[in-house]
Structure 1
Amino acid sequence: MLGKIITIEGLDGAGKSTQIDLMIKKLESLGLKYKYIHFPMLNKGVYGGLIAKFLRGEFGELDDVHPTLVALLFAEDRKEHKSKLLQWLSEGYVVILDRYVNSNIAFQCAKVATQSEKDELKSWILDFEFNHNDLPKPDISFFLDVPLEIIEKSLQKERTGEDRAYLNGKEDIHESSFELQRNVYQEYNVLLDEQADFHRIDCFSDQKEWLSPEDIHNVIFSKINEMSSAD
């Protein structure tokens, strides 16, 4: 399990931070060294600052900026941290990433209308991030699947904390559009069908109740163990 990238994906408000906290505690209990990054690195570096401005709506409304340009900003934000990622992997760290390339694909492809546009944009993002920018590919990825009606309620609540500082009191234009979140969910489903190492993690029971964070964590870590055993 040394020198692996684990990515956690999900809609805004799906509980990624909770699962990452539990994963970190598990790795610590096993004596495994780890590193963690949340992408995008808002307000850090040239591209993180530009992304923060975009999400605050300073470049216009959601439809005012072409998704290819937005994808470029998010991709270049990751590239700024590429050398650090590669160093950690070479030193045997387990690298946990809150959002990665699949997030860029899901959010940007959700903004275009036709299937041909989606396919073209997805291909461009994959080529740009993994070939042109030569980012390391994740070893295993997880999508926290939460019903859309729960996501809608979560996003309607006031969200606070240091990770909201980039908004300067404004709304995040990605989070404020539930139509976008619905379309992003559909794009994640496509990626889940296409990628064998991308795993759906159901966060709700058949009775439409939240599974406990610990139960969700156990499912995630069992799949990580399966990956490690297969190496």
Structure 2
Amino acid sequence: MRGKFFTFEGIDGSGKTTISKMVYEELREKWDVILTKEPTNSWLGKSVEKAIEERKDAITISLLFMADRNEHVKKIREWVEEGKIVLCDRYMDSTFAYQSAHLCHTMDDPLEWLKKVHTPFSLKPDKTFLFLIEPSIAISRIKKRKKSFFENVSFLKKVQEYYLLLSRENRFITLDATESKEELKDRCIKKIEEEMGYG
């Protein structure tokens, strides 16, 4: 039986990484589950992280993300064909939302450009969990973290606006990221089980 592919998206501080790990820990008791992430741990993924740290421009970062994703998608396709459930913490929608927010002042329709560049190696998730939160609350959650290129309220607000545009697609399931971790984990698992035909 073919597996399924689920992604976890949201602005920094939305809690998606924590929830994806909780979902993984529970699902692995019953199914063959892979938890992966982007950027990946490959040398390409490390190049993405280095470019972000060095504050390279948005086009450079976007193209590095895409190179990393092109290789990642090959693995995801294999896992799905093997019947595995694949959970991914950040995927193409992160690139679409974050890099569109960076590029919106330098090109007319950055989202359309990013989608076109992705077309040759695009693999759509079966479902995408989008964790929505007020950017100011997200910032308060991540104050203890090392400050990154992405983390300021006005920028995260713009990123979330792009996420909301993307969420018009049927594959998106929007979640209130201020709910308890247990509630969010349970909501995700319920949707995954429904998608697997066990709901």
Cα distance in structure 1, aligned partners of 2:170 and 2:31? 26
Q: Is 1:186 aligned to 2:175, yes or no?
A: no
Cα distance in structure 2, aligned partners of 1:157 and 1:78? 29
Q: 1:144 aligns with which of 131, 136, 141?
A: 131
- Measure how far apart 1:16 and its partner are: 1.5
Contact 2:4–2:196 (8 Å) recurs in 1: no
CA 1:174 to 1:116, structure 2 compared with 1: closer, same or farther past 3 Å? closer
Structure 1 residue matching 2:86: 3-state secondary structure: strand
CA 1:202 to 1:74, structure 2 compared with 1: closer, same or farther past 3 Å? same
Q: Is 1:112 aligned to 2:94, yes or no?
A: no
**Structure 2: 5+ residue runs without aligned partners?**
none
1:137-216 pair list within 5 angstroms: 137-158=124-145, 171-175=147-151, 177-192=152-167, 194-204=168-178, 211-216=179-184
Structure 1 residue matching 2:88: 3-state secondary structure: strand
- Measure how far apart 1:32 and its partner are: 0.5
1:26 is matched with 26
2:8 is matched with 8
- Measure how far apart 1:85 and its partner are: 1.4
Q: Which is worse superposed, 77-86 or 91-100?
A: 77-86
Contact 1:201–1:220 (8 Å) recurs in 2: no
Which AA in structure 1 matches 2:134? P
Q: Is 1:79 aligned to 2:70, yes or no?
A: yes
Which AA in structure 1 matches 2:177? C
Which AA in structure 1 matches 2:189? F
Cα distance in structure 1, aligned partners of 2:145 and 2:55? 21
Q: Percent identity?
A: 26
TM-score, normalised relative to structure 1: 0.77
- Measure how far apart 1:101 and its partner are: 0.7
Query: CA offsets per residue over residues 156-191 of structure 1, 9 Å max, x none?
Result: 2235xxxxxxxxxxx42123x332211101111111
| RMSD of aligned residue pairs (Cα, Å) | 2.4
Which AA in structure 2 matches 1:18? T
Q: Is 1:91 aligned to 2:91, yes or no?
A: no
1:38-53 pair list within 5 angstroms: 38-41=37-40, 44-45=42-43, 47-53=44-50
**Structure 1: 5+ residue runs without aligned partners?**
60-64, 160-170, 205-210
